[in-house]
Structures are given as C-alpha cells and as structure tokens.
Chains A and B, each alone.
Chain A
Amino acid sequence: MENLPVIRLDHVTKIYPLAGGNVVALDNVSLTIMPGEFIAIMGPSGSGKSTLLNQIGSLDIPTSGELCIDGINIRHLTDNELTDLRRDKIGYIFQNFNLIPLLTAYENVEYPFLLRYHEHDDTGYINRLLSSVGIDRDLAVHKPSELSGGQQQRVAIARALVNNPPILLCDEPTGNLDSKTGLQIMEMLRSLNQQGRTIIMVTHDPATAAYAHKKVIITDGRIGS
C-alpha cells in the first residue's frame, strides 16, 4: 500500500470552452502524491490552482489525461460515482468554511456521515470528533452564524474527517482567519498529517506553505519547480 500513490495525475489537461476561444486551465500536468504527504500548491491567481484542486477533489473531470484517486480513475465515473468518491475519499476544508447555515455544528459534522451510512450515529463518535477539534457539546448546538471563524473552521475540519477520508483538500484554510487562529488550524492539520492523512493545500501564504513537505508551484496551467 505504502508505495502506491494516493493521487496520480498523468498528463492532465483541462480546457474550458468559452465564447472567446478555449481557455487551457491545466496544461499537461503530471503529479504523483504518495500517502502521508503534505503538499502545498502555490501560484499566482488565475494560474490554475483552483482548477487543479477541483480535479483532485473530483468536482470536475479532466478534458484529457488520467487522474486516479486512491486507485480509481475518475475520468470514467458517472456523476453519482464521483459524488460517492467525494463523500468517502475526500475531506474538504474551504477558505470560508462553507458550513451549511441551516444546520447546527453537530448536524454539519453528522451530515456526510448520514449521506454515507443512512443512519444517525449513536456511539458518540460525532461528539468525540468535535471535541478532538476543540468544539465542546455546548458549542455544537449552535448554528455556524453563531460561531467565530476559528470555531467554524474547526467544525469544518471535523466535518471533513467524519467519513475518515484518506485525503484532505484545503483551499486557503487560514485565509479568513487571524494569524493566531490560523496557526492553531495549521497545527491541527499538521497533527492530522502526522496521523497519516494525505493533505493537499492551496495557499499563497509562505508561512502556511511552510507546514508542507513539498511545494508545487503552478504557473499558467503548468507545474514549475
């Protein structure tokens, strides 16, 4: 297992057909990420970082090339299969947290669990998960709008972890947080990585990128050094 890549991009190209001509967002990108790696993807805006993250996150499929997530080639998956892959293999952590406003913190974390297992958790797993990211039971009953940014991001991390995915995708995870809270979140990500989870993080902040083992610089849709 250890020497099989968890993510493998092989000559991935993504072209967005627009009225003014095709836009090549990813140009022949090849990248191999092994389990347990902590990768920072960096680059100026419009360079294709987000497109790359969307491909890895199975929100989109490449125009050409092969993209394997945990051994599954996503180019030949249906929308339903892609959705299941996102639910089971990938945990998302967004810049603006993206919690579901209608649900409480607890329910937000429970939601992907419900999607996967079709039943409520009665073992206290959700609560243990929440307290492991520093959200106690009193906080868990609040709606996201009643939580601070740091608390929301902790809930979002718990939500990303609930189905125990091998991959965590972080899109500017500290972008909306003050530096102290950002530091706490990064420490949390680092310890998750040390427990063996693969983390791919998009950021433009060098201090945040310093937590990664490896930096991937992307410019004009190509990977540089």
Chain B
Amino acid sequence: MIGDIFFSLSMRSVRLHFLRSLLAALGIVIGVVAISSMGILGTNMTLSVTASLSENANELSVSPVSGSSGGGFSPPGISSTTSSDDNEYIDRDQVRDIERVASKDTVIPIYSESRETITIGDEETKSTIYGLEPEDVVASIDITDGSYLKGTSGAIVGSELQDQYDLHIGSRIKIGDPDEGTQHVVRVVGFAAEKGMSMALNPDNAIIVDAKLFVDWYGGENEYDQVLVIVSDINTVNTVGNEIEEQLNRKEEKVRVRDSSSMLQNITSTLSTLTSFVTAIGAISLLVAATSIFNVMMMSVTERIKEIGILRSIGTKKREVLRMFLYEATILGLVGSLIGGVMSLIGGYIVCLIMLSNTSYFWMPASLMNIVNGVVVGIFICIFSGLYPAWRASNLNPIEALRSD
C-alpha cells in the first residue's frame, strides 16, 4: 500500500514534534469534552423531564382562561396556578360539566394559593397551598408517612418541604404573612409521596389542606383555581380533553385544557434552546482548538518546505503531498477526539451528577450519542483546519521549495 508511506511520514512528523502535537490535540480534547458534556447534560435534562412528566401523562389540567395573559408557561412550583384573581375561576357548574364529560374519570377541583408565606419554627418561606376535598386527596396523592386529612386542621406536606425543614408528624406550620394579618396554624398529619411534574397538582413543595379550611381562610367558595382530571384510560386523554374544551368553551373561550404533552413540548423546546446555547459556548473552545491545529499544521508545512521540495522533485504528486498533510491533521484530530470522547464519558457523568444529581439516564443511547457527535465534530474540525495548510504544501513550487533552507 502506498498509503502506508505517506501515513508513516505523517506519523513520524507528529512524533518528531510530540509536545507541539500533543498541545494542539489537547485543544481538541477540551473542545470535544465541552460540547459532549453540554450535550449530555441537555439530553439528560430532557430525558428526566420527559420521564417525570410521563408519570402523570394521564392527567389533564383545566384552568380558567386568564384574559390577555394567555400562553406563557411557568415552571411548576413557582407559580404553577393562575393567580386567584376574583374574575378567573372555574365555578361549580363548570365542574359539573367537566364531571359529566369525564364521567369515567376522576375530577378533582382544586383551590390553590401560590407563593404564600409560611412559617416553620422561626424560618419563613414560600409555598403553594392547595385546598382539596379529603376524598380527592386520597384519589390524587400518595402518602409516605402519617395519614390522609382528617378533621379540618390537619395538613399534608410535600416531600421537599419535609426534607428541607426536617418536619415530622405533628409539626406546626403557620400559614400567612404575619405582617398582613392573620396567621393560621396547621398540624402536619401526613407526608405526600414525591410526584413527578404535573400540570395541576405539585405536592412536592406544597401544603395540602381541607377545602373547607381553605375557603375559611381565603374565601371564594366554589371558585376553583383549577380542575385536575385523572383519566382512567390513558388512550382517551386527548379525547376527554377535547370534549371538555368543546363543552365548556361553546360560547366563548372560558377554560384551557392542558395535558402533560403540551407541557412537555414547552419544556423540551426551552431546554433545547438552553442546550444549544450552552453547546455553542462549548463550540467556541473547539474553534480555538481549530485555530491551534491550523497553527501547528502551518508550522509543520513551513518547517518542511525543503522536504516537500525533495518529495516533489523525486516524483511525489501534489495530491500525495496534500494527503500526507491531511493525514497529519487527521492523526491529531483522531487522537484528540478519541481522548476527548473518553474524557467526555467522565466529564458528562460528573456534570450530570452535579447539575442534575441524577445519572440514571446517562447510559441511554440518546445521551451517549452526544459523545459520538462530539468525536465526529472534533475529527471533522481537525481535517478542516488542515485543509489550507495541506493545500499550501502541495502547491509549493518545487524549485523554490528545494532552494529554501
């Protein structure tokens, strides 16, 4: 094979300038690690959100249309429910209509108040307060510890609050801002199990009380902030959703029905924008690496002008010289990118561990594909950076090249 001799010349040239080549390859290593890790992070974020949402894929959320401020999705836990302005609610009749349409399914009207000040011990924090009928709590929430609501002064607390404030059964929580009047005291009777992201009911960072108690505090009886529909047959989620919209929005647009897929779409598109942005930053390091490969290749060409002249004069064709230098760039790219690929495996894992504290999706093909992509991009960039130097080398005038020293 004639390829051998050119490849072996390139190989020897790389080895002759080992440190220089290593440093250039190091740039590619860093670039590949940067884009691969960021890609892995993005994919893992999307995968975990998808998985967490699909746990609740059988849920529909019916919310009142809030005048002009439609459209935007706010991440749950911050202000997931439309604020309980007086004119935006779902009334008793509408709930009945929903129940009629979704006769086979569980319909849970929800009162909610987001970002309420609560006081646990001496610490103040914000939390969402849900008001639900006790039987609805049983239908929509699992309990890890304690019991469901009984009597009217008990509260069920989400797992995040539990962990954060070290709550236990019997702990007292004051609800309401002490500066703005009354505070209500509730006792923790149970803890809600962790629930994936949901459209309507996110108990993880919330307090759930009896609906009567909620109305006592905030008023607005029968003016629900949201209705959660738990569909019994997951295949009918869309049908039920459409029927509810048809039924309630017959005259004018009064409610909006959302299922987890629309939320998923929103989140994934946000995440992918975010991921592309972060990956673009990573790509800058790859661009820097490309510059250093270019630089090293130009140096290699300049140093070897005489040698190129010899090669040309004893019968080496232009395209063979071109190939020799492209091999050199490819060797740098291969070595750098493959090392980068291995390091991405480690780097991506660490990033997922730190940023997501969840590595369960790391080994999925979609996640590992990012490394393959990173390696391919790395190799491609090296070859691309080597194109001009190689072209220059092959187009040197043999006489002038021979004359140089």
* Residues of chain A having any CB pair with chain B under 8 Å: 54, 57, 59-60, 79-80, 83-84, 86-88, 92, 94, 98-103, 107, 111-112, 114-116, 118-119, 159, 163
Out of A83, A88, A112, name the residue touching B312 (CB < 8 Å): A83
Out of A59, A86, A111, A159, name the residue touching B5 (CB < 8 Å): A111
Do the beta carbons of B399 and A112 come within 8 Å of each other?
Answer: no
User: Which residues of B lie under 8 Å from residue A119 when comparing CB positions?
Assistant: 1-2
Do the beta carbons of B2 and A114 come within 8 Å of each other?
Answer: yes
Q: Give 24 A-B contacts (CB < 8 Å), ordered by A residue.
A: A59-B312, A59-B402, A83-B312, A83-B318, A84-B315, A84-B317, A86-B313, A88-B315, A92-B313, A98-B310, A101-B307, A102-B9, A102-B12, A102-B13, A102-B16, A107-B5, A111-B314, A112-B314, A115-B314, A115-B316, A115-B320, A116-B315, A118-B1, A159-B314
Given contacts A98-B306, A163-B315, 8 further A-B contacts (CB under 8 A): A57-B313, A79-B317, A79-B318, A83-B312, A98-B310, A100-B311, A102-B13, A102-B307
**B134 near A: Cβ within 8 Å?**
no
Which chain B residues in 257-314 approach chain A with CB under 8 Å? 306-307, 310-314
**B398 near A: Cβ within 8 Å?**
yes
Which of A87, A102, A107 has the most chain B CB atoms closer than 10 A to its own CB?
A102
Which of A100, A103, A114, A118 has the most chain B CB atoms closer than 10 A to its own CB?
A100
User: Would you call the interface of chain B mostly helix, strand, loop, or mixed?
Assistant: helix
Instruction: Give 4 closest A-B pairs by Cβ, nearest first.
Output: A87-B315, A118-B2, A102-B12, A98-B310
Do the beta carbons of A112 and B307 come within 8 Å of each other?
Answer: no
Chain B interfacial residues counted at CB < 8 A: 23
Cβ distance A59 to chain B, nearest Cβ, rounded Å: 5
Q: In the bound complex, how far is the Cα of B171 from the Cα of A39, in angstroms?
A: 111
Do the beta carbons of A80 and B317 come within 8 Å of each other?
Answer: yes
Q: In the bound complex, how far is the Cα of B5 from the Cα of A80, in angstroms?
A: 19
Do the beta carbons of A87 and B9 come within 8 Å of each other?
Answer: no
Do the beta carbons of B316 and A83 come within 8 Å of each other?
Answer: yes
Are A100 and B315 also in contact (CB < 8 A) when A60-B399, A119-B1 are?
Answer: no
Cβ distance A25 to chain B, nearest Cβ, rounded Å: 11
Do the beta carbons of B314 and A87 come within 8 Å of each other?
Answer: yes
Do the beta carbons of B9 and A59 come within 8 Å of each other?
Answer: no
Are A59 and B318 also in contact (CB < 8 A) when A98-B402, A111-B5, A118-B1 are?
Answer: no
Q: Which residue of B lies closest to A111 (CB)?
A: B5
Q: In the bound complex, how far is the Cα of B307 from the Cα of A103, in angstroms?
A: 11
Do the beta carbons of A100 and B310 come within 8 Å of each other?
Answer: yes
Do the beta carbons of A115 and B399 come within 8 Å of each other?
Answer: no
Cβ distance B37 to chain A, nearest Cβ, rounded Å: 37
Cβ distance B322 to chain A, nearest Cβ, rounded Å: 12
User: Which residues of A lie under 8 Å from residue B307 when comparing CB positions?
Assistant: 100-102
User: Which residues of A lie under 8 Å from residue B398 when comparing CB positions?
Assistant: 59
Do the beta carbons of B399 and A54 come within 8 Å of each other?
Answer: yes
User: Which residues of A lie under 8 Å from residue B399 when comparing CB positions?
Assistant: 54, 59-60
Q: In the bound complex, how far is the Cα of B317 from the Cα of A86, in angstroms?
A: 10
Cβ distance B351 to chain A, nearest Cβ, rounded Å: 42
Q: Which residue of B lies closest to A103 (CB)?
A: B9
Q: In the bound complex, how far is the Cα of B318 from the Cα of A116, in angstroms?
A: 15
Are A115 and B310 also in contact (CB < 8 A) when A83-B316, A86-B315 are?
Answer: no
Cβ distance B270 to chain A, nearest Cβ, rounded Å: 54
Cβ distance B176 to chain A, nearest Cβ, rounded Å: 82
Cβ distance A221 to chain B, nearest Cβ, rounded Å: 16
User: Which residues of B lie under 8 Å from residue A94 when comparing CB positions?
Assistant: 402
For B10-23 the 0/1 string (1 means CB < 8 A from A) is 00110010000000
User: Which residues of A lie under 8 Å from residue B16 when comparing CB positions?
Assistant: 102
Cβ distance A61 to chain B, nearest Cβ, rounded Å: 11
Are A86 and B2 also in contact (CB < 8 A) when A59-B398, A98-B402 are?
Answer: no
Cβ distance A79 to chain B, nearest Cβ, rounded Å: 6
Out of A99, A102, A112, name the residue touching B315 (CB < 8 Å): A112
User: Which residues of A lie under 8 Å from residue B315 when comparing CB positions?
Assistant: 83-84, 86-88, 112, 115-116, 163
Out of B306, B313, B316, name the residue touching A59 (CB < 8 Å): B313
Q: In the bound complex, how far is the Cα of B20 from the Cα of A18, in angstroms?
A: 38
User: Which residues of B lie under 8 Å from residue A87 when comparing CB positions?
Assistant: 314-315
Cβ distance A126 to chain B, nearest Cβ, rounded Å: 13
User: Which residues of A lie under 8 Å from residue B5 when comparing CB positions?
Assistant: 107, 111, 114
User: Which residues of B lie under 8 Å from residue A102 when comparing CB positions?
Assistant: 9, 12-13, 16, 307
Q: In the bound complex, how far is the Cα of B317 from the Cα of A115, in angstroms?
A: 9
Q: Which residue of B lies closest to A79 (CB)?
A: B318
User: Which residues of A lie under 8 Å from residue B1 when comparing CB positions?
Assistant: 118-119
Q: In the bound complex, how far is the Cα of B312 from the Cα of A107, in angstroms?
A: 16
Do the beta carbons of A86 and B314 come within 8 Å of each other?
Answer: yes
